[in-house]
Amino acid sequence: MSKYELQIFADYHHFYIQDDDEKFGDLSDAWTDEAVSSLLAVSDRVVGVGTARNSDVSVTLETCLQLPEFAPEDWDRINQTALICDTGRLVVAGCTDYFPDALRIEVEPGTYDVLIGYRNLDSVSDNGCEGDDSYFVFIAPKETG
């Protein structure tokens, strides 16, 4: 289990987690009106996490053996999805970050459950630049059965 405390530039109101094969990073078709509203865009090998601000945001990411239980009242929003990682490395970055310099997390190749908790979304200023919003991402091997 690993834990990362990050500040990510969420340009275009999102950051992503993806397999370390750059060809999977295009979510342009996945950012539908519904995805923007739910703050989540996905494809098989990339997850786009929507943010309330278009600036640096606080992100806590943990890899774990199983996903934690979330009490809905502790969060403004909760999303869950799956992610395939063939390379054994996950990349975490803002969408305009330079891909080769982005954080890489070593994992076993396979399919993962991804649980995202969003906090303090209503703290964002009217201009959308200031706020105390934060994002918590938990990644665990997909449970089978």
Cα angle 80, 140, 49; round to 5: 40
Question: Quick one: what percent of the chain has pLDDT higher than 90?
Answer: 81
Q: Which domain holds residue 70?
A: 2-141
Radius of gyration of the chain (CA): 14
| pLDDT at 145 > cutoff 80 | no
State the total domains in the chain. 1
Instruction: Tell me the pLDDT band of 114, cut-offs 50, 70 and 90.
Output: very high
> Following CA atoms 44, 77, 49, 108 in sequence, which dihedral angle do they give, to the nearest 10 degrees?
-50
Question: Tens of pLDDT along 74-93?
Answer: 999 999 999 999 999 999 99
User: What is the average pLDDT across 85-110?
Assistant: 94
Question: Tens of pLDDT along 10-35?
Answer: 989 999 999 998 887 788 899 999 99
CATH code, domain with 124: 2.60.34.30
